Amino acid sequence: MTGHVSADHIRARFSDALSAMYRQEVPLYADLIAIVEEVNAATLAADAGLRDALTSSGEIARLGAERHGAIRVGTAEELDGLRRVFAAMGMVPVGYYDLTVAGVPVHSTAFRPIDEEALRACPFRVFTSLLRLDLIADPDLREAATAILAARRILSARALELADQAAAAGGLNEAEAAEFVSEVLETFRWHAQALVDAETYQRLLASHRLIADIVSFKGPHINHLTPRTLDIDAAQAAMLARGMQAKAVIEGPPPRKVPILLRQTSFNALSETIRFAGDQADAAGAHTARFGEIEQRGLALSRKGRALYDALLAQARNEAGAQDEGYAARLAQAFTAFPDDLAQLAREGLGFFRYALTPAGEAAAGSGGVEGQIEDWIAQGLVQPIPMTYEDFLPVSAAGIFQSNLGGEKQRVYAGNASQAVFEAALGAPIVDPFALYESEEARARAAVTAALGGTVTA
């Protein structure tokens, strides 16, 4: 008798608890949710095709509960502990993102569920960044930061014990799950009381605002929670109309008929009062940590599609960066080279798809099947390609989100030094390659539709 609840259940509970806590901590988050709900309802009401597509893929059910969050940690031990905790929620590290190239001294992964059913049950993800202490140039400050981090424990002993118990026993029962969720929630809570004195905080801040944010506090406060919108341009306009300080540029691809990958925008981090440790314990300071973000998700791109995306994005940015007024126009211009028609995207192998039989396809299957391959059947109207949603993140966009929340921070340049091996050693596990996930899902879908139509795949 195990009486275990599912990892999906634990994840959904945690996601709900975190959302409730963040609503209390950052009232603007509730406004953001209200905007997104309004925009999503209006978009669905106006677009029957979209409504049908989201209904048949099951995504409509997850939409209202969909969100990702982000945290930043300081040490290998902290990252390893989080991996164990997220594993009990059915979340594994997917994708490696090096942000040093954009002047942000961290590298990151996203903990997320990976199979289709788990994503449908609760798509909650956590973008998790690890500080690169080696990038603090001043050796004294580096040593001080190392010592501060070594002395703190971001996860309670009980949280880790329950996580390890879940791994060993294959799950937790209802009471244990409830206790686990409330223990882990504490790790994500905002603490206005800093671990460091005012002088140390200032030195960390002078090194990099992000370093001060990661090192100065008891733990990795959740820094944003992001709902998913179906129309980010409308949601951005609504944010501005309500006086929110939205980021000037929407990160990611330009607006399109067929949305691809991920578009994101954020509102600026709030300035919050903090208290310092030490002699100046009475001296209050101000710290900007928490902000709001919204996202719109579209088609997951194949390696070929992603290479084209990266090239066109670089083209639009290379000319004059991404901050000037001409950027949106340059981006739109560059992306005229990216097909914007579902059948063409499928035919050219630019995205990942599942496949459904059309009524004509059902009829053909019923009368013994047909010869050929999927691309022919799509052209013949027997098979319909269904876009797979991109479930991951984009490094250039993530860097833009980080930067817009670093205030007037002048951009530093760190030598680009992606090091997935170093990150994995800290994590204590390999990172899953997102492309491999989409590829195997698509292979399954192709095999299923091929079996249904009785053909032979020749390509």
Which residues are near ligand OOG by CB under 6 A?
Answer: 70, 72, 127, 129, 223, 264, 393, 397-398, 401-402
Closest separation between CB of residue 267 and Ni ion, Å?
12
Partner touching 216 among Ni ion, ligand OOG, none, CB below 5 to 8 Å by kind: none
Spell out the residues 6+ positions from residue 223 whose beta carbon is closer than 8 angstroms to its own: 69, 70, 71, 72, 213, 269, 289, 290, 291, 405
* Residue sitting closest to ligand OOG (CB): 398
Binding mask 293-312 for Ni ion (x = CB under 5 A): x-------------------
Closest separation between CB of residue 161 and ligand OOG, Å?
28
Report the site for Ni ion in 218-247 (rule: CB under 5 A): 226
Partner touching 402 among Ni ion, ligand OOG, none, CB below 5 to 8 Å by kind: ligand OOG
Report the residue number, 33 or 398, with the smaller CB distance to ligand OOG. 398
Cβ–Cβ under 8 Å, residues 374 and 446: yes
Residue 428: DSSP 8-state: T
Tokens 């449908």: give the residue.
120
Closest separation between CB of residue 400 and Ni ion, Å?
11
The Cα–Cα gap between 123 and 110 comes to 12
What phi and psi values does residue 238 have, to the nearest 5 degrees? -65, -35
> Of 307, 298, 321, 327, which Cα lies nearest the Cα of 389?
298
Closest separation between CB of residue 50 and ligand OOG, Å?
23
Closest separation between CB of residue 401 and ligand OOG, Å?
4
Query: Exposure string (b/e) for 184-218, b if CB count within 10 Å is 16 or more?
Result: bbbbbebeeebbbbbebbebbbebbbbbbbbbbbb
Report the residue number, 289 or 378, with the smaller CB distance to ligand OOG. 289
Report the residue number, 44 or 244, with the smaller CB distance to ligand OOG. 244
Report the residue number, 57 or 226, with the smaller CB distance to Ni ion. 226
Q: How many residues does the chain have?
A: 459
110: tokens are: 């996203």
Report the residue number, 100 or 450, with the smaller CB distance to ligand OOG. 100
Report the residue number, 104 or 177, with the smaller CB distance to ligand OOG. 104
The Cα–Cα gap between 253 and 328 comes to 10
- Contact residues for Ni ion, defined by CB under 5 A: 70, 226, 293
